[in-house]
Amino acid sequence: MEELICSAKGCRNRALWQLLWNNPKLHTPDRRKAWLACDEHRESLSSFLNARGFLRETVPISDPDRLGE
């Protein structure tokens, strides 16, 4: 399995978190998209999604049953 990298612009750190989200105007309620985050960017990426009402859940990468799209 290749190393998962943080989704923050310009970041090359290993991702430790999945920020599971959906846009209710575009996605069904059960669909989950995923942004990946390192510890350094977890809060800023979460804040961005949460401000738009998109953030649904944050889970560790180590939980393979919860992988988003």
Task: Quote the CA–CA distance of 64 and 45 in Å, as a whole number.
Answer: 21
3-state secondary structure of 50: helix
Q: Dihedral (C-alpha) 10, 12, 13, 19: value to the nearest 10 degrees? A: 60
Query: 11-61 pLDDT, tens per residue?
Result: 999 999 999 999 999 989 999 999 999 999 999 999 999 999 999 999 999
Q: Distance between the two ends of the chain, CA-based, in angstroms?
A: 16
pTM: 0.84
pLDDT at 50: 97
2 — pLDDT class (breaks 50, 70, 90): confident
Residue 20's nearest CA partner among 10, 5, 30, 12 is 30
